[in-house]
């Protein structure tokens, strides 16, 4: 799998014609902005959790119920992954032999993504402290959802996929609300005291990253499949015969409607990233559709593209940037400069003249700049990194 797209690889835009090129630029730009947001959110969280400094709350994950800007980033990636599945696989014809070939490659990619995610967990653990390694994580969840989405694409039509997504969301809600949990009760949605946490304690190998529960646990990965399906549905719209203006309108309308339904569902099944609740799926997927519509309108209809060069470059190598920023963070967190890591030295020095929130934001942007510099170097050297 190439890092030119998130999951899976996308062909160079120039080979797809003018319309497809514009579409892929909008997706790449969307993906690039999302990876920038993830780098900022991860850096902010590390400063907040490690050094207990003041940070912009918008870049911090919500403590439990509710949605912040940072909470939107991960589901945006899962949405884009589902979108990329349709954009890439729609170019091929699939007989039984071809399906078997694609399936074998997907299994191998999923394994590699899973192992890469575990390696990142180990890296951050070595840089920030000691403890057991969590088996699950961001890449592990994306890999599993990617596998599910490709299988759905290969063996079902979009109407079946829509039905599967609705069934998953309704089933997850009913399970969380009505299946009794031993020693806890029914319908409890407290941290570590809910059906998802109890199931992860039983079925998930290794440690849970929050002690009694896991923020990317196996059980809550089930509704994440529905997030991938919403991206697939957007992909079908983008490759349809509708005009660009019609596609933008439908993305906006579908996104706003989904946001409203998610908000209403949240009244009985709260918006919660950590549980990946059904209302959270609809709410974040709705915003992802609105964001995709905005990028498509800006790049394809207004043809204003100069502003997006930066994000497009990062978007074309988003997986590489995601992995790289952890290595950069690990370098800054490790005690390489005396007894204190560079991250702590920067905070203690700069916050004497700047608010700590601004120091954290500047540090995040430095990491973004490092990733961008490496990406540009790879493009110039025509280096192709595959996973």
Query: Angle, nearest 10°, between helix axes 69-89 and 17-51?
Result: 150
The parts of the chain modelled with pLDDT lower than 70 are: 1-23, 91-97, 127-132, 303-305, 336-338, 385-387
Residue 303: per-residue pLDDT: 67
Global pTM reads 0.87
Alpha helices in the chain (DSSP H): 17-51, 69-89, 96-128, 138-155, 158-178, 195-203, 221-238, 244-265, 278-296, 309-316, 318-333, 342-350, 356-380
Phi and psi torsions of 190, nearest 5°: -85, 160
**Residue tagged 């608010």 (tokens):** 355
Q: Tell me, what's the pLDDT at 4?
A: 37
Total residue length of the chain: 387
Do residues 220 and 195 touch, judged by C-beta distance below 8 A? no
Return the closest-CA partner of residue 72 out of 257, 24, 217, 80. Answer: 80
Q: Is 42 exposed, middle or buried (0-12, 13-18, 19+ CB in 10 A)?
A: buried
Q: What is the pLDDT of residue 3?
A: 36
What are the domain boundaries of the chain?
13-380
Alpha carbon distance 64, 62 (integer Å): 5
Report the distance separating Cα 206 and Cα 198, nearest Å: 14
Q: Mind giving me the DSSP string for 79-122? A: HHHHHHHHHHHTTS---HHHHHHHHHHHHHHHHHHHHHHHHHHH
Q: Environment class of residue 239 by beta-carbon count within 10 Å: exposed (0-12), middle (13-18) or buried (19+)? A: middle
Helix (H) or strand (E) holding 323: helix 318-333
Buried b (16+ CB within 10 A) or exposed e, 103-142: eeebeebbeebbebbbebbebbbebbeeeeebbbbbbbbb
Q: What is the pLDDT of residues 267-290, one digit of tens each?
A: 999 999 999 999 999 999 999 999
Q: Is 71 exposed, middle or buried (0-12, 13-18, 19+ CB in 10 A)?
A: buried
The pLDDT of residue 329: 83
Within 10 angstroms of residue 94's Cβ, the number of other Cβ atoms is 14
Q: Which two tokens stand for residue 167?
A: 């069934």
pLDDT number for residue 12: 33
Question: 281 and 337 in contact (C-beta within 8 Å)?
Answer: no
């Amino acid at each position: 799998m190439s890092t030119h797209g998130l999951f899976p690889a996308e062909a160079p835009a120039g080979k797809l014609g003018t319309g497809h090129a514009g579409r892929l630029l909008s997706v790449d730009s969307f993906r690039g902005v999302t990876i920038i947001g993830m780098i900022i959110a991860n850096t902010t969280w590390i400063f907040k959790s490690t050094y207990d400094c003041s940070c912009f709350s918008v870049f911090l994950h919500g403590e439990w119920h509710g949605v912040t800007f940072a909470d939107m980033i991960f589901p945006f990636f899962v949405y884009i992954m589902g979108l990329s599945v349709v954009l890439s696989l729609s170019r091929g014809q699939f007989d039984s032999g071809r399906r078997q070939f694609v399936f074998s490659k997907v299994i191998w990619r999923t394994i590699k993504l899973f192992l890469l995610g575990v390696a990142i967990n180990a890296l951050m653990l070595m840089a920030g402290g000691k403890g057991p390694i969590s088996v699950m994580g961001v890449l592990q969840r994306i890999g599993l959802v990617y596998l599910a989405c490709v299988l759905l694409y290969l063996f079902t039509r979009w109407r079946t996929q829509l039905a599967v997504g609705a069934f998953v969301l309704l089933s997850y809600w009913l399970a969380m609300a009505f299946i009794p949990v031993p020693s806890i009760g029914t319908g409890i949605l407290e941290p570590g005291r809910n059906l998802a946490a109890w199931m992860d304690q039983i079925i998930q190998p290794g440690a849970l990253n929050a002690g009694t529960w896991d923020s990317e646990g196996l059980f809550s990965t089930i509704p994440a499949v529905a997030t991938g399906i919403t991206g697939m549905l957007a992909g079908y719209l983008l490759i349809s015969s509708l005009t660009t203006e019609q596609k933008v309108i439908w993305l906006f309308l579908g996104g706003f409607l989904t946001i409203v339904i998610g908000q209403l569902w949240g009244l009985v099944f709260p918006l919660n990233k950590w549980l990946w609740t059904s209302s959270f799926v609809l709410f974040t997927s709705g915003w992802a559709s609105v964001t995709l519509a905005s990028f498509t309108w800006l790049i394809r209809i207004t043809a204003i593209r100069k502003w997006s060069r930066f994000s497009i470059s990062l978007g074309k190598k988003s997986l590489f940037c995601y992995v790289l920023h952890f290595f950069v963070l690990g370098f800054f967190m490790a005690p390489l400069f005396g007894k204190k890591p560079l991250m702590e030295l920067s905070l203690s020095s700069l916050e004497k003249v700047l608010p700590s929130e601004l120091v954290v934001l500047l540090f995040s942007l430095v990491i973004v700049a490092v990733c961008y510099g490496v990406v540009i170097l790879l493009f110039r050297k025509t280096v192709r990194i595959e996973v």
